Structure 1
Amino acid sequence: MTLSDSIVRWRYRLVPDHLLGEILTKRWVDNAIPLLILACVMAVFGSLIPDFFGAASVSNLMRQWGEFGLIVMALTIVMVAGGIDLSVGSIFALGNIVALTLMHVAELPVPLVVLFTMACGAAVGLVNGLLVGFLRLRAFLTTLVTLIIVRAVVDMILLKYAVAIAAVFPDSDFWFFFGEGYVLGLPFSVVLTIGVAIVLHLVLSRTRAGWHVLAVGGSRRSAHNVGIPVRRVICATYVVSGTLAALAGVLFASRLGAAGADIGIGLEIAALTAAVLGGNSLGGGRGSAAKAVIGSVTVMIMVNSLVRIGITSGGSSLLLGLVLLGAVMIDVRWLKNRQKFLSKVYVSPTYSALPAAPATDGASPYALNDRLRPVEAIGLDRIDGPEDVILDANDNIYVGNRTGDIVRFLAPDYDQQEVFAHVGGRPLGMAFARDGSLVVCIGGMGLYRVTMDREIQKLTDETNRSWFSVIDDSRLRLADDLDIAPDGRVFFSEATVRYEMHEWPVDCLESRGNGRIICFDPNTGTTRTVLKNLVFPNGICMVHDGQSFLFAETWACRVSRYWFDGPKKGTVETVIGDLPGYPDNINRASDGTYWLALVGIRTPALDLALKMPGFRRRMARRVAPDEWLFPNINTGCVLRFDESGRVIETLWDRSGDNHPMITSMREHKGHLYIGGILNNRVGRLKLDGVDETWTAKRSYWGQS
């Protein structure tokens, strides 16, 4: 290795470039800028205002935030569904005057005051919801009209009952507890708002109703097409918004006990500024209670601090307007360019130097030949993408297809086929368990079992999460091959934790070591990762000692052996380290050796590019994906090797006509059955000089 290669190798080993892309994929990244703005606001005003962090100052600010926070969350709910509610300030004023009238004039019990006031807010929200949701009027204009009408109603109530309200002082500790009481040392309004925020977070992130709101905000047409009642969801968000705004009015009435014509004026602008500043999208489909809390705290600190340092109300409104303009600009630009920026930084190639490719001519064990030319096609044009192939004791063939089915070809002539099970995801590696059930790796779903009665059962779809992983690597993205130990433990490979099923070639571009091997123990129901940082681990095959298995790392062009039991437990040894192509599935042969599929053949251009991570990064950013350098998967190969790594024979199809692309093969009763994830057939090749009674099932479980 040259000095320059060593420098590049260590640079990409020590600098975790991929972390930036992984961080940007996290949902909490949207809160990073709002939190930074909040910290800056606190630092600036904390240095300008004496006793800014004093107990009295903080307590007064918290009470005001309790009311304002409810209004921001009311507006956030509507925004998440793709709407806008400019009437929240007027509904807040309505809640204040109605609560005071019912308490001071009608002298109703406090629970009824709260209930009736919230009902008034819900009624206004229902009007908004019916007009916007069911009559499909524009939200901006509709709620603007509602703002004017509700404000007029507030003024009329104020003219009629203002004197009566001012003349009465209710003698109710329970009433004043809403505005002045404490719970665990915190103002009641703050505790109530935090509770509402928690409920809102759980609803949006954990319930079907919340998912419906997010779906409607993301795309109303798509939400309608999947059966979501869009109009009802939109109407419900306005009802909830009106209810929360009225509840904030109750807290304000209890705290100050005052009624004025200016209450709530301009509050909708402050609430909108807070909601957008917190990271809630004006376009809908993106928002949370946490964003509402962050934005409301920031705006509340700004407004109160400007008053304390002597800025007039006009100056305060001007600043809020400028902040809202900046927040909208950031929201629009970020929403428009986030995926574009993420696509440029997420793919993070690293340095990968493969050993020299062995020769494929002359006396080389990998010498080219045409031994796959006699392969006969089973199910030609009747199957799409049989990645793995396996046979049962009755000689029936099982393969997965691209549409989520496990298809069974019936012996002996295989002319008839049937859907054995519809699993939904992409069936990949398969193995028969001792009880006859079929265990399957399903891309994007995890590890599943199909019983002899065709019942589909999930075994596991997650494993233990890594302590220092930025992404959630507990979820299984691409479980692709498996084998079963004598005690029933299932060892299966997950090719990559960074990419989904349809993105598997991008992992080759990275060659970072994003894969792992996982063990599921049916005896305990537990799942754990046993090997990490593997370069697209793929085929897995149990060795005959019952204590170890062979596994292939596709982009590393090597086959290794791992001991999971016995005196060498935990040890990994390389069996073949310099394959001429990219290994895929591994399966047992009848003479105690092992079959290995090469999904593609190495090329000098890609081998060189693997040493040039900077080149591959630029390629990913500047070139269309269909023009990237990829492995040559047009030439398939099957080889047979022993436990020491000695290659015994190879089977090629040089023309690429008969069976061009190979991901798996399975020996059964004197024939080799071949699958390929991009093929439209199952291949069958007659083998010479082998035990024609041998089956893999008998090799594993001793059954005929």
Structure 2
Amino acid sequence: MASTKARQRNIDKQVLPKQFNAPKGSGDDKQEVKTSRRWIPAFLIALVVTLVIPMMLLIVWPSPIQPVVIEGLPEPPELTGPLEPNNILTFAEQIYRDEVHGPESIVADGDHLYTGTADGWVNHIHQGVVQKIVRFGKEPCGGFHNEVTCGRPLGMRMDKIGFLIVIDAYYGLFRVNVVTGDYDALYLSSTPINGKPAKFLNDLDIGPDGKIYFTDSSTRWPRNQFGMILLEGIPNGRLLMYDPATQTTTELFSSLLFANGVQLTKDKSAVLVVETVRARILKYDLKTKEVTVWAENIPGFPDNIRYSKITGTFWVGLAWTRHRGGFSIIDYLAPLPRVRALLAKVYSFTLFQALKQYTSGTGVHTMAIELNEAGSIVGSIQDTTGAVISSVSEVEVSDGIMYFGSFHSNYIGRLYRRRVPGW
């Protein structure tokens, strides 16, 4: 018994190997844990640098706009009746692809076409050949950022004696000899009208007496910052008139939220003016000077408007669609000026295009609408996926052919009505 206890005491006195004797929480383990946690401070610093600091700067940095609540946008309409989804535009074709970029407005004069493009040129197209006629600005050209120096021809019409009347967003109103390329400046945008600068000249129409009615989309933002007009929401667009008899330009009425397309009524007694951001078209009576709403709650944000002598109706291109069941970023942001103030800090044309592309995926992609003399929608043509015609700024109708302009596409759309079954 005694010998057994002695043996046990000897066993207890033996020194066990280190790995069995080391208690939990030894110095080596603590060093290992400490080393494994060194990434945490580095991660927190990276997070602050890449996210927190930029967000703080974004919040405290002053916004370039003073946004207000955008009023006058009712709930978007349903796509029923004449707005029922269709794919008529898929019967169209793309012509002069990569030869024209951003052909917003188109004039069809017989088998001659005229359009302005993003490189600042007014172009004459005949028998498959694109010929550059005139440019009102100077190099550098071709980029959205240098439009201010290059110029950007937008709305255009042919007058009754064969001169092409062109409005350049930055430079003014011009009369062009399409044969020689010579031009006269009718109004230069460097001249203020009613004490306000013309920042963004847009579209025009010509009255029977030669008077030219044209829009100034904003007295604050130029065309290459047009997104700021949408984000700010302040109605400072207007309708102007050039009188060839006195060679003077006057302001007819203002307070338009992105004044855009212009078209005289069939009887020439009034001027129809597109108010893009409020998705409506106004009517200015030339005799009474009264302004009324001609068409409202349009299923998109309207661009140019053109009269078709063939059908006696008006065609309006929609720069961006809006309808019930789809998502419209402009409708969504209309009551949120603070959010728009933040977006204005990071605004770019690329961002605008990305938003347009993303939101277009939630409904009908491309649409143009047809209205009667009373301003009621009687028809629409659509490309639900945008696969053939991705955008419509203007519809020009000529002898059963419809041409589609776009301020950013690299082609002109063309549709022969006879090729559309049952239309």
Alignment CA distance shift 1:550-1:402 (3 Å): same
What is aligned with 1:498? Answer: 220
- Say if 2:296 is the partner of 1:574: no
Secondary structure of the residue that 1:570 maps to in structure 2? coil
Match of 1:374, as an amino acid?
F
Cα distance, 1:358 vs. partner? 0.3
Match of 2:385, as an amino acid?
S
What is aligned with 1:346? Answer: 64
**Pick aligned residue for 1:593 from 313, 316, 325:** 313
Cα distance, 1:512 vs. partner? 1.3
Cα distance, 1:604 vs. partner? 4.0
**Pick aligned residue for 2:344 from 611, 620, 630:** 620
**Pick aligned residue for 2:257 from 526, 532, 535:** 535
What is aligned with 1:456? Answer: 183
Cα distance, 1:476 vs. partner? 2.2
Match of 2:120, as an amino acid?
G
What is aligned with 1:435? Answer: 161
What is aligned with 1:380? Answer: 97
Q: Distance in 2 between matches of 1:490 and 1:341?
A: 45
Q: Distance in 2 between matches of 1:663 and 1:555?
A: 14
Specify the structure having the higher radius of gyration (Cα): 1
Give the unaligned 5+ runs of structure 2. 1-57, 138-150
Cα distance, 1:582 vs. partner? 0.4
**Pick aligned residue for 2:78 from 359, 363, 373:** 359
- TM-score of the pair, normalised by structure 1: 0.46
Q: Is the 8 Å Cα contact of residues 91 and 419 (structure 2) preserved in structure 1? A: no
Q: Is the 8 Å Cα contact of residues 227 and 347 (structure 2) preserved in structure 1? A: no
What is aligned with 2:284? Answer: 562
Q: Is the 8 Å Cα contact of residues 601 and 631 (structure 1) preserved in structure 2? A: no
Q: Distance in 2 between matches of 1:663 and 1:343?
A: 35
Secondary structure of the residue that 1:616 maps to in structure 2? helix
1:159-558 equivalent positions in 2, closer than 5 A: 344-353=62-71, 354-360=73-79, 363-392=80-109, 394-411=110-127, 415-424=128-137, 425-452=151-178, 453-462=180-189, 465-466=193-194, 473=196, 475-558=197-280
Q: Deviations over 1:492-534 (max 9, x none)?
A: 0111111112101111111211211100001110101111110
Match of 1:355, as an amino acid?
P
Cα distance, 1:615 vs. partner? 2.0
Q: Distance in 2 between matches of 1:514 and 1:343?
A: 25
Cα distance, 1:381 vs. partner? 1.1
What is aligned with 1:328? Answer: none
Alignment CA distance shift 1:345-1:640 (3 Å): same
Q: Distance in 2 between matches of 1:545 and 1:657?
A: 38
Cα distance, 1:440 vs. partner? 0.5
Kindly, what percent of the aligned residue pairs are identical? Answer: 27
Cα distance, 1:421 vs. partner? 2.1
Q: Distance in 2 between matches of 1:558 and 1:537?
A: 10
**Pick aligned residue for 2:400 from 663, 666, 670:** 670
Q: Distance in 2 between matches of 1:465 and 1:576?
A: 28
What is aligned with 1:211? Answer: none
Q: Distance in 2 between matches of 1:477 and 1:618?
A: 23
Q: Is the 8 Å Cα contact of residues 344 and 620 (structure 1) preserved in structure 2? A: no
Match of 1:344, as an amino acid?
P
Q: Deviations over 1:580-636 (max 9, x none)?
A: 110000001122111110011133443121111122113324x45455795568532
Q: Distance in 1 between matches of 2:344 and 2:124?
A: 40
Match of 2:318, as an amino acid?
L
Secondary structure of the residue that 2:214 maps to in structure 1? strand
Q: Is the 8 Å Cα contact of residues 366 and 385 (structure 2) preserved in structure 1? A: no
Q: Distance in 2 between matches of 1:371 and 1:344?
A: 46
Q: Distance in 1 between matches of 2:220 and 2:153?
A: 19
Q: Is the 8 Å Cα contact of residues 314 and 370 (structure 2) preserved in structure 1? A: yes
Q: Deviations over 1:291-338 (max 9, x none)?
A: xxxxxxxxxxxxxxxxxxxxxxxxxxxxxxxxxxxxxxxxxxxxxxxx
- Say if 2:369 is the partner of 1:653: no
Cα distance, 1:556 vs. partner? 0.8
Higher mean alpha-carbon deviation, 415-424 vs 623-632, is at 623-632
Q: In angstroms, what is the RMSD of aligned CA positions?
A: 2.4
What is aligned with 1:264? Answer: none
Q: Which structure carries more strand by proportion?
A: 2
Alignment CA distance shift 1:348-1:546 (3 Å): same
Match of 2:100, as an amino acid?
I
Alignment CA distance shift 1:450-1:618 (3 Å): same
Match of 2:213, as an amino acid?
F
- Say if 2:414 is the partner of 1:684: yes
- TM-score of the pair, normalised by structure 2: 0.74
1:31-50 equivalent positions in 2, closer than 5 A: none
Q: Which structure carries more helix by proportion?
A: 1
Cα distance, 1:457 vs. partner? 1.2
Q: Deviations over 1:549-589 (max 9, x none)?
A: 11111111001111113xxx211111111011100000011
Greater RCO between the two (CA within 8 Å, min separation 6)? 2
Q: Distance in 2 between matches of 1:517 and 1:342?
A: 37
What is aligned with 1:267? Answer: none
How many residue pairs match? The answer is 335
Q: Distance in 2 between matches of 1:523 and 1:358?
A: 44
Give the unaligned 5+ runs of structure 1. 1-339, 468-472, 691-704
Q: Distance in 2 between matches of 1:652 and 1:672?
A: 13
Q: Distance in 2 between matches of 1:532 and 1:342?
A: 34
Cα distance, 1:343 vs. partner? 7.9
Q: Deviations over 1:364-417 (max 9, x none)?
A: 32222100001112101111110111112x321111111111111104xxx222
Cα distance, 1:342 vs. partner? 12
Alignment CA distance shift 1:624-1:476 (3 Å): closer
Q: Distance in 1 between matches of 2:233 and 2:399?
A: 38
Alignment CA distance shift 1:418-1:689 (3 Å): closer
Q: Is the 8 Å Cα contact of residues 366 and 386 (structure 2) preserved in structure 1? A: yes
Match of 1:380, as an amino acid?
R
Q: Is the 8 Å Cα contact of residues 551 and 559 (structure 1) preserved in structure 2? A: yes
